[in-house]
A and B are shown apart, each in its own frame.
Chain A
Amino acid sequence: MRQIRSEVLKLRSTRTSIGLVLGMLGLVLFTVLVQLVVSQVENSSDFQLSAEDTQRSILQAAGFATLFSLLIGVLAITSEFRHGTIRPTFLFTPARELVVGAKGLACGAAGAVLGVVAVAITFGITLVWLQVESVDRAIGTAGILEMAGGIVGATLLWGVIGVGVGAMIRNQVGAIVGTIIWLLIPGPLIQGLYPKVGHFLPNAASDAFSGSSDSDLLSPAPGGLVLAGWAILFVVAGALWTARRDVP
Chain B
Amino acid sequence: MAAVPETVIEVERLTKRYGSLTAVDDLSFTVARGSVTGFLGPNGAGKSTTLRTILGLASPTSGRTIVLGTDYRHLSDAPRRVGAVLEASDFHPGRNGRDHLRSLALSSGIPFSRVDEVLRLVELDAAAGRRVKGYSLGMRQRLGLASALLGEPELLVLDEPANGLDPEGMRWLRDFLRKFAANGGSVLVSSHVLAEVEQTVDRVVIINRGRFVAEAALDEITARAAASVRVRSPEADRLSELLTAGGATVTSVGDGLLSVLGVAAARVGEIAAANGVVLHELVPEETSLEEAFLALTQDTGGAAT
A→B interface (CB under 8 Å): 2-3, 5-7, 9-10, 13-16, 79, 83-85, 87-95, 246-247
Please tell me if the beta carbons of A95 and B73 are within 8 angstroms of each other in the complex: yes
A247 cross-chain contacts in B, Cβ below 8 A = 52, 57-58
A5 in contact with B106 (CB, 8 Å) = yes
Q: Give 9 A-B pairs besides A84-B91, A91-B84, A94-B72 with Cβ atoms closer than 8 angstroms.
A: A13-B96, A14-B94, A79-B92, A87-B87, A88-B147, A91-B79, A92-B79, A94-B74, A95-B73
The minimal Cβ–Cβ distance linking A102 to chain B, given in whole angstroms, is: 8
Given A6-B103, A87-B57, the answer on whether A94 and B147 have CB atoms closer than 8 Å is no
Q: Which residue of A lies closest to B55 (CB)?
A: A91
Q: Which residues of B contact A89 (CB under 8 A)?
A: 104, 107
Tally of chain B residues near chain A (CB < 8 A): 35
Nearest CB on B from A103, distance (A): 11
Partner of A9, one of B52, B91, B106: B106
Does B289 count as interface, using CB distance less than 8 angstroms?
no
Cβ of B75 under 8 Å from chain A: yes
Is the contact region of chain A dominated by helix, strand, or loop, or is it mixed?
helix
Contacting residues, chain B, for A87 (C-beta < 8 A): 57, 86-87, 90
Chain B: minimal CB distance from A170 (Å): 14
B284 CB within 8 Å of chain A? no
Contacts of B57 in A (CB 8 A): 87, 90-91, 246-247
Q: Which of A13, A16, A84, A94 contacts B73 (CB 8 A)?
A: A94
Instruction: Say which residue of A14, A15, A84, A92 sits within 8 Å of B89 (CB atoms).
Output: A84
Where the two chains meet, the residues of B that have a C-beta atom closer than 8 Å to any C-beta of A are 52, 55-59, 72-75, 78-79, 82, 84, 86-87, 89-96, 99-100, 102-104, 106-109, 144, 147
Residues of B within 8 A of A91 (CB): 55, 57, 78-79, 82, 84, 86
**A14, B104: Cβ atoms closer than 8 Å:** no
- A10 cross-chain contacts in B, Cβ below 8 A: 92, 95, 103
State A13–B147 Cα separation when bound (angstroms): 17
- CB of A14 within 8 A of CB of B95, answer yes
Residue in B closest to A83 when the chains form the complex, CB atoms: B92
- Give the Cβ gap from A111 to chain B, nearest Cβ, in Å: 19
Q: Is A13 a contact of B95 with CB atoms below 8 Å?
A: yes
Q: A13-B96, A92-B79, A94-B75 known; A85 and B108 CB under 8 Å?
A: no
- Say yes or no: B103 contacts A13, CB within 8 Å: yes
State which of A13, A14, A90, A93 has its C-beta within 8 Å of the C-beta of B108: A93
B102 CB contact (under 8 Å) in A9, A84, A85, A246:
A9
Residue of A nearest to B88 (CB): A84
A11 to chain B, nearest CB (A): 10
B57, B74, B84: most-surrounded residue (chain A CB, <10 A): B57
| Given A90-B57, A91-B55, A246-B57, also A83-B107 (CB < 8 A) | no
Enumerate 20 A-B pairs (CB-CB under 8 Å) in ascending A order.
A2-B107, A6-B107, A9-B102, A10-B103, A13-B95, A13-B100, A14-B92, A83-B89, A83-B90, A83-B93, A87-B57, A88-B144, A91-B55, A91-B78, A92-B104, A93-B108, A94-B72, A246-B52, A246-B58, A247-B57
The answer on a CB contact under 8 Å between A15 and B106 is no
* A-chain residues with CB within 8 Å of residue B103 when the two chains form the complex: 6-7, 9-10, 13
Q: Give the residues in chain B near A83, CB-CB below 8 Å.
A: 89-93
- From residue B69, how far is it (CB to closest CB) to chain A in Å? 14
Q: Which residues of B contact A9 (CB under 8 A)?
A: 99, 102-103, 106
> Could you tell me if B93 and A94 are in contact, using CB atoms closer than 8 angstroms?
no
Q: How far is the CB of B67 from chain A (nearest CB, A)?
A: 10
Residues from chain A with Cβ under 8 Å of B87 in the complex = 84, 87
Check if B55 sits within 8 Å of A85, measured CB to CB: no
Query: In the complex, which of the residues A6, A16, A246 contacts B104, with contact meaning CB atoms closer than 8 Å?
Result: A6
**Alpha-carbon separation in the docked complex, A9 to B102 (Å):** 8
Whether A16 contacts B94 in the complex (CB less than 8 A), given A9-B99, A9-B103, A94-B73, comes out as yes
A7 vs chain B, min Cβ distance (A): 8
Q: Is the CB of B56 within 8 A of A94?
A: yes
The distance in angstroms between the C-alpha atoms of A9 and B92, with both chains bound, is 13
Q: Which residues from B are CB-within-8-Å of A15?
A: 94
Top 5 nearest A-B pairs (CB, nearest first) are A84-B90, A6-B107, A13-B99, A6-B106, A247-B57
**In whole Å, how far is B218's beta carbon from the nearest beta carbon of chain A?**
28
B72 (CB) vs chain A CBs: closest residue: A94
Shortest Cβ distance from residue A84 to the other chain B in the assembled complex, whole angstroms: 4
Shortest C-beta distance, A9 to chain B (Å), equals: 5
Interface centre among B74, B104, B108, B144 (most CB of A within 10 A): B104
